[in-house]
Amino acid sequence: MSRHHEGITGRGRARTAASDEDVLARLREIVGAENVLVDEDKVEPYAADAVKEKFPPEAVLLPRTTAEVASILKLANERRFPVTARGGGVGYTGGAVPVEGGVVIGTDRMNRIREINADDLYVVTEPGVTTYALQQAVEAEGVFYPPDPASYKTSFIGGNIAENAGGIRSAKYGVTKHYVIGLEVVTPTGEVIRTGGLTSKNVVGFDLTGLICGSEGMLGIITEATLRLLPLPETTRTVRATFKTMAEACACVPRFNRARVTPVAIEVLDRNAIAAVETEFAFGFGADAGALLLVSVDGHASEVERDALICERVVRDGGGFDVMRSETREEEERLWDVRRAISPALKKFGTMKFNEDVVVPRSRVPELVARIEEIGKLHDTFVVNFGHAGDGNIHVNFMCDRDDPEAMRRARAAVRDTFAFSVELGGTISGEHGIGYVKAPYLDMALGAATIDAMKSIKRALDPNGILNPGKMFL
Ligand SMILES: Cc1cc2nc3c(=O)[nH]c(=O)nc-3n(C[C@H](O)[C@H](O)[C@H](O)COP(=O)(O)OP(=O)(O)OC[C@H]3O[C@@H](n4cnc5c(N)ncnc54)[C@H](O)[C@@H]3O)c2cc1C
């Protein structure tokens, strides 16, 4: 039986059930019977992502080749059932879950790295390789793949491209789209197309590579990616300092650049984030710690030593106290422990965390954080802010209890106010996590009607039958 989930978008449509026996028989012919999962306990692991809301698929398909993916999509168009691609399943906006039923294509078996070319600085990979495995493989060849979402041990390259994932190193190196130079994609109607190529320069035709990056699995299924690499930096160093206020800490950000240093990472924690990690893990921060700044530099050893000293001077001149500068890899790891401690520390503040990732021009971060504190008070909701001061992308965490509907309502109101203020500051509602179904109700706060219509036209042109990942992004 088909399970249609009309609750999320109200758009559930009558479809041919993917679980009809004749459809399942065709799917077994395409990918092999052992790669079609239908039992409840087998599909369960594919029912949710990091949002943790469950939408069990009618079947999970585990193809190995591009041709198999293309055949699945052709059948889906013929019999009209939804298809949703899945990578590591650690998205934060429900992108990989089949909210309108149908099948999930798990890319777990498409996990080979096909070529690492350290001379021409590219890697060709299938989509089901984890970000971490790819980083390790290229680093073993002396080259570097910079995008580093915090989920890197479990997220897949396909999911990173579909979400245009960022990370701590984006202050210097940018985000996933800056490294994707070529793709093989199965379109929603089952055609196989190639975009870009092996070269970082390529201006032939429309930039379909750019279109697919960040398209949240709605415009095609990525079956191969060519990613640009860089020489591997020799070493890194970190400076950590506390400040009385977020404004003082954030004011250092442009000063690093004016001192001709481009830090690889600039992270900030607000007063509540510091208090949370202090309560749980006793790092030794005093009551006067109103903000914490972590700044790292990378490159050749001699440059890195010099740049770390410059960063130390900048933070001291900017009012930083309890300043620490790492001299070894171990010391550096210890300085970063505080950042890693935030997520576990937050658990005691509620069973539900509205984890938003708004982004504003980086000079506006202090205003943003100050207003979010007011918004938290207005809606009687505890809020913790931390994140990427280097690119203005702040992780805002409104904490409450899942079982308390009134607290959940207040937290949702706080989220909406935060989105509105981020847009007012010239920013937007998501810098990393995307829209999926979770943020679909807010899309029109960030984009005008004509822009949304243009996006819908592209979706309709590529997916006339609404097969691929329906129920996402657009209400
Ligand atoms: C603890 C934690 C930390 C995180 N930290 C970060 C962070 O620092 N930066 C950041 O950007 N995000 C972060 N995220 C969010 C998330 O991990 C990223 O969005 C990541 O890119 C998702 O990858 P995934 O493989 O899990 O994708 P999934 O969740 O499986 O899928 C995400 C989307 O991609 C689509 N998709 C997957 N594979 C393909 C494919 N082959 N072709 C086409 N579409 C596909 C899916 O349909 C879905 O829409 C974090 C999440 C968690 C839980």
> How confident is the model over 156-174, as pLDDT tens digits?
999 999 999 999 999 999 9
Q: Which residue is closest in CA terms to ligand 1's atom 18?
A: 91
Pair 121, 226 in one domain: yes
Q: Which residue is closest in CA terms to ligand 1's atom 1?
A: 151
Structural domain includes residue 92: no
Quick check: 441 and 428 in contact, CB under 8 A? no
Atom of ligand 1 nearest to the CA of 185: 42
* Closest C-alpha among 185, 193, 245, 242 to residue 218: 185
Q: What is the pLDDT of residue 393?
A: 97
Atom of ligand 1 nearest to the CA of 50: 53
Q: For every residue of the chain, which 3-state class applies, written as one string?
A: CCCCCCCCCCCCCCCCCCCCHHHHHHHHHHHCHHHEECCHHHHHHHCCCCCCCCCCCCEEECCCCHHHHHHHHHHHHHHCCCEEEECCCCCCCCCCCCCCCCEEEECCCCCCEEEEECCCCEEEECCCCEHHHHHHHHHCCCEECCCCCCCCCCCEHHHHHHHCCCCCCHHHHCCHHHHEEEEEEECCCCCEEEEECCCCCCCCCCCHHHHHCCCCCCCCEEEEEEEECEECCCEEEEEEEEECCHHHHHHHHHHHHHCCCCCCEEEEEEHHHHHHHHHHHCCCCCCCCCEEEEEEEEECHHHHHHHHHHHHHHHHHCCCEEEEECCCHHHHHHHHHHHHCHHHHHHHHCCEEEEEECECCHHHHHHHHHHHHHHHHHCCCEEEEEEECCCCEEEEEEEECCCCHHHHHHHHHHHHHHHHHHHHCCCECECCCCCCCCCHHHHHHHCCHHHHHHHHHHHHHHCCCCCECCCCCCC
> How confident is the model over 447-473, as pLDDT tens digits?
999 999 999 999 999 999 999 999 999
How many separate domains does the chain show? 3
Whichever domain contains 217, its CATH number is 3.30.465.10
Ligand 1 centre from 251 Cα, in Å?
32
Q: Which residue is closest in CA terms to ligand 1's atom 11?
A: 165
Q: Which residue is closest in CA terms to ligand 1's atom 19?
A: 91
68, 114, 134, 330 from 65: Cα distances, Å: 5, 13, 19, 42
> How confident is the model over 79-112, as pLDDT tens digits?
999 999 999 999 999 999 999 999 999 999 999 9
Atom of ligand 1 nearest to the CA of 85: 47
Q: Please state, for a pLDDT cut of 90, what percent of the chain lies above it.
A: 94
Candidate from 126, 151, 346 with most ligand 1 atoms within 8 A of CB, to mutate: 151
Candidate from 155, 161, 168, 219 with most ligand 1 atoms within 8 A of CB, to mutate: 155
Pair 254, 221 in one domain: no
Pair 200, 261 in one domain: no
Q: What is the pLDDT of residue 18?
A: 81
Pair 259, 315 in one domain: yes
Structural domain includes residue 21: no
> How confident is the model over 328-381, as pLDDT tens digits?
999 999 999 999 999 899 988 899 999 999 999 999 999 999 999 999 999 999
Q: Please state, for a pLDDT cut of 70, what percent of the chain lies above it.
A: 97
Q: What is the pLDDT of residue 348?
A: 83
32, 94, 202, 218, 465 from 83: Cα distances, Å: 18, 14, 31, 10, 11
Ligand 1 centre from 146 Cα, in Å?
16
Atom of ligand 1 nearest to the CA of 222: 42
Whichever domain contains 402, its CATH number is 3.30.70.2740
Q: Which residue is closest in CA terms to ligand 1's atom 20?
A: 160
Q: Which of 231, 251, 283 is the last residue of a domain?
A: 231
Q: Which of 179, 203, 231 is the last residue of a domain?
A: 231
Structural domain includes residue 466: no
What's the rounded mean pLDDT across residues 244-253? 95
Ligand 1 centre from 159 Cα, in Å?
4
Pair 280, 377 in one domain: no
Ligand 1 centre from 98 Cα, in Å?
15
Q: What is the pLDDT of residue 213?
A: 98
What's the rounded mean pLDDT across residues 43-52? 96
Structural domain includes residue 9: no
The boundaries of the domain holding residue 170 are 113-231
Pair 126, 210 in one domain: yes
Ligand 1 centre from 268 Cα, in Å?
23
Ligand 1 centre from 87 Cα, in Å?
7
Pair 159, 197 in one domain: yes
What's the rounded mean pLDDT across residues 140-155? 97
Structural domain includes residue 271: yes
Atom of ligand 1 nearest to the CA of 128: 41
Structural domain includes residue 87: no
Atom of ligand 1 nearest to the CA of 212: 43
Whichever domain contains 305, its CATH number is 3.30.70.2190
Ligand 1 centre from 150 Cα, in Å?
10
Whether the pLDDT of residue 201 is over 50: the answer is yes
Contacts 24+ apart (CB under 8 A), 371-380: 371/418, 371/421, 372/396, 372/418, 372/421, 373/270, 375/414, 375/417, 375/418, 375/421, 376/414, 378/414, 378/417, 379/410, 379/411, 379/413, 379/414, 379/417, 380/410
Atom of ligand 1 nearest to the CA of 152: 17
Ligand 1 centre from 70 Cα, in Å?
22
Pair 127, 219 in one domain: yes
Ligand 1 centre from 83 Cα, in Å?
17
Q: Ligand 1 — pocket residues by CB below 6 A? A: 49-50, 84-92, 95-96, 107, 127, 149-151, 155-156, 158-160, 162-163, 165-167, 216-217, 221-222, 432-433, 469
Atom of ligand 1 nearest to the CA of 107: 41
Structural domain includes residue 78: no
> How confident is the model over 2-12, as pLDDT tens digits?
333 332 233 34
Confidence class for position 16, pLDDT limits 50, 70, 90: low
Pair 383, 427 in one domain: yes
Ligand 1 centre from 318 Cα, in Å?
37
Atom of ligand 1 nearest to the CA of 92: 15
Q: Which residue is closest in CA terms to ligand 1's atom 46?
A: 96
Enter the pTM of the model.
0.95
Pair 267, 376 in one domain: no
Pair 183, 213 in one domain: yes
> How confident is the model over 271-298, as pLDDT tens digits?
999 999 999 999 999 999 999 999 999 9
* Closest C-alpha among 371, 368, 376 to residue 407: 376
> For tokens 């399970």, what's the residue?
3
Q: Which residue is closest in CA terms to ligand 1's atom 28?
A: 89
Structural domain includes residue 95: no
Q: What is the pLDDT of residue 311?
A: 98
Cα 318 to chain centroid distance, Å, stands at 32
Pair 213, 294 in one domain: no
> How confident is the model over 297-323, as pLDDT tens digits?
999 999 999 999 999 999 999 999 999
Q: Which of 198, 213, 231 is the last residue of a domain?
A: 231
> How confident is the model over 377-425, as pLDDT tens digits?
999 999 999 999 999 999 999 999 999 999 999 999 999 999 999 999 9
Atom of ligand 1 nearest to the CA of 220: 43
Atom of ligand 1 nearest to the CA of 343: 1
Ligand 1 centre from 90 Cα, in Å?
5
